[in-house]
Amino acid sequence: MLNIIAKAEHTHDLTKDEIVKLLATDEYNQELFAAADRVRKRFVGDEVHLRGLIEFSNICKQNCLYCGLRRDNQNLKRYRLTVEQIIDFARKAKSYGYKTIVLQSGEDSSFDVPTMQHIIREIKAMDMALTLSIGEKTREEYAAYKEAGADRYLLRIETTDKALYEALDPGMSFENRMRCLRDLKELGYEVGTGCLVGLPGQTLESLADDILFFKAIDADMIGIGPFIPNPDTPLAGAKGGTFTLSLKVMALTRLLMPDINIPATTAMETLDPHGRIIALQSGANVVMPNVTEGEYRQLYALYPGKICINDTPAHCRACITGKINGIGRKVSAGYGYRQKKKIGQ
């Protein structure tokens, strides 16, 4: 097992069987996490990139079984920020020192292309990098957002197991999800994707396929987090994912994709009070604090127990900066684009 970890650290390549072996045993976890941390330090350094997250609508036309924003959830108070609110939150985020804004929402079709282009241009005029996370769109829509100035797009595959994907995402097509990722890459976006760990019916083999898929498409950012069952969804009684397995999938992703950006996800801290810091010490180099204000932080209810929902954006910024500095790392002053490096550099 130590030879497999060493191989991953030095060649950034593993077979599916080798990945499964590492996922199947917890005996060598600390060695795995330490190797991922060394690769992180060597390829992306000690700076941590902060992305200010604006959750601008919890309205979604999709009906994914695992998600609290699903269309059929009648227990959720719905909201949609105005264009002015979104731009105002972005302006405040800039004043807190953020260099990147992430605009995230459910698949809310009321934000048409001209509206999104206006929002994108206003935020780009503030000298910010901009990531969109707004779901499946046509190639033409993606091209229009890119033309307006969007830099990155986050679209998690959640699972590369086609049968499982289509069982958990009724009415959605695995092929269309793949088409979206392909279009985004071809249009010149920095592409982010990722998976949920611990979905009902998911296997270690499936998780290994996810990691190899991320590498095959040369994704620029990978977000990995545990599946946390939401009581207002059909999967309310499911077991859910574990912090440790999520951390292992993340660490293996770092070992195989040494120069990408990997966030320490909020969901990890929902399962472990030190989750984001542990993730930053196991391969992650990005944190995405919420800069949405007021009750909206609570209403973007993907899963229960979400952290920091009662905090202000200013408090979150100060808190995470203190935690990052506390482990000998520093907050980046840059925009946080992926710096591609050849293996061996």
Binding-site residue ranges for [4Fe-4S] cluster: 60, 64, 67
For residue 224, what are the β-bridge partners?
195
For residue 104, what are the β-bridge partners?
55, 133
Which positions make up the binding site?
60, 64, 67, 158, 177
CA-to-CA separations, 67 to 137, 154, 275, 294, in angstroms, rounded: 19, 17, 21, 22
CA dist 322 and 329 (Å) reads 10
Which positions make up the binding site for S-adenosyl-L-methionine?
158, 177
Please report the DSSP string for 295-307 in residue order: THHHH--SSTT-T
Give me the helices (H) in the chain, please. 2-11, 16-24, 29-44, 83-95, 113-124, 139-148, 162-168, 174-186, 204-216, 243-256, 266-271, 275-280, 296-299, 313-326
Closest CA to 44 of 255, 327, 321, 291: 255
As given in the structure block, the two tokens for residue 268 are: 């990890």
What counts of helices (H) and strands (E) characterise the chain?
14, 9
Residue 330 has phi, psi (to 5 degrees) of -135, 155
